[in-house]
Every structure is written in structure tokens, then in C-alpha cells.
Homo-oligomer: A and B are copies of this chain.
Amino acid sequence: MKKAICLISGGLDSSVAAYIAKNKAYDIYALSFNYGQRHEKEVKCAKKIADSLNAKKHIIFEIDLAKFGGSSLVDKKKQIRQVKDIEEIGKKIPSTYVPARNTIFLSIALAYAEIENAQAIYIGATSTDYSGYPDCRPEYFKAYQKLSNIATKKTIEGGTIKIKTPLLDLSKAEIIKEGIKLNVPFQNTWSCYQGGKKACGHCDSCLLRLKGFKEADIVDPIEYE
């Protein structure tokens, strides 16, 4: 049986990526992070998604990235920007950027993959409708693949751990359409950077999600303020 480590944040993209792994007949080993993000709503959604995927295991890994500060996503004193014009998104790396986040998450996934003898790590990064984070770009994942090919006992002994980024070149609308095909329960996903009862509708992440649903001509099942 093929095994995949699936990084599941509770957001829309990582949920679709994990459903793609499932559809390719991988057994799912879900991995989520409690990293000092401003709210725990994401992790609750991640649990629901892992459940609906029938994951063999779901590890919630505790790692305190707020220890260093440096990002409005982990530092409650810093304000998250409310974007007025969606065209602003992606032009400049915003304050929600968490230094080396994907590098840290992939490294922990690499350890998990080696221990479970998994063949793949699925991550829902996208470089199309995105916030311009450096660790979401195709060249970044190519460099990470090269590193992981020589970083572990498994890989230097001839085993494979493939970093799979099935959403990398898709627009948000295309990701949503793919998710609909695979029956992703979008009502159990959370994209908003704020942790309110309803999504704020104004942060980068809400705006990209709303634009995606609109372009896909599908109704977003979550509620907005």
C-alpha cells in the first residue's frame, strides 16, 4: 500500500491536495501544526478533514513559531492587513509571512515520511492566486526535492520521498473545481486569518477564497461577517 504524509492546515488548498492524494490510492497520514497561529479554528477544521479522509493517523504537531515573533500570523500584537483592492495581493510579501514556515513544516513531514516509510508528502501550496510567499514558488519546491533526495537514510539508500504540489499551477477557481469533483467538504475548511465566528471577508486569504468561488461559479458554504 502506498502511503502519503499530507500536510493539512484546515484551509481549502491543503484539503484539496489531501483529497487528490486519497484519489491516487494513497493511505493518508495527516500532519497538522499547532504553531502559535492566532486561533485554533484551523486545527479543528484539520481534524474534520482528516476524519473525512479516513486518515490512518493524524498527528497534531506542537511547534512554537511565536517564540521568535516576526509575523502577524503568530504575533497577536501585530495587525493583519485588511486589503481594499485585491490587485494588491501578491505584489509585496505581506506581514502574515511566517519566516521559513514551509521549510520547517516540510522538514518535520520528511522525518514523519521516513519513519512511516511513506513515498510522498502532499502540500497544498499554490503560486498562482497567492500572497507572494517565497516558500510557495516552484523553484523553492524543486530545491526542497533535491535536498530531501540526500537528507535521509531512506533516500540515500534508494528509497523515494516525493514532494507533491498538485495545486502549484492552479488558480483558486481551478482548485475549488477540483475539490468539488473529489467531494471535498468545503464547509469544514477555514481560510480566514482571523479567528472569528464567521470569516472576516477582508484579509488576503478571505479575498482570494471569495474570488475563487466567484470565478468557479460555486457558492462558498461557509459564512462571512
Q: Categorize the interface residue count of chain A.
A: 35 or more
Residues in B whose Cβ lies below 8 Å from that of A102: 151
- Minimum CB–CB distance from A34 to chain B (whole Å) comes to 11
Q: Is the interface of A mostly helix, strand, loop or mixed?
A: helix
A99, B104: Cβ atoms closer than 8 Å: no
Residues in B whose Cβ lies below 8 Å from that of A143: 143, 146-147, 149-151
Q: How far is the CA of A69 from the CA of B98 in the complex (A)?
A: 28
Q: How far is the CA of A137 from the CA of B93 in the complex (A)?
A: 34
A108, B104: Cβ atoms closer than 8 Å: yes
Q: Write out, one digit per residue, whether chain A residues 76-116 have a CB within 8 A of any chain B CB (1) or not (0).
A: 00000000000000000100011111111011101110111
Q: How far is the CA of A63 from the CA of B100 in the complex (A)?
A: 16
A→B interface (CB under 8 Å)? 59, 61-65, 67-70, 93, 97-104, 106-108, 110-112, 114-116, 134-135, 137, 139-140, 143-144, 146-156
- Minimum CB–CB distance from A45 to chain B (whole Å) comes to 21
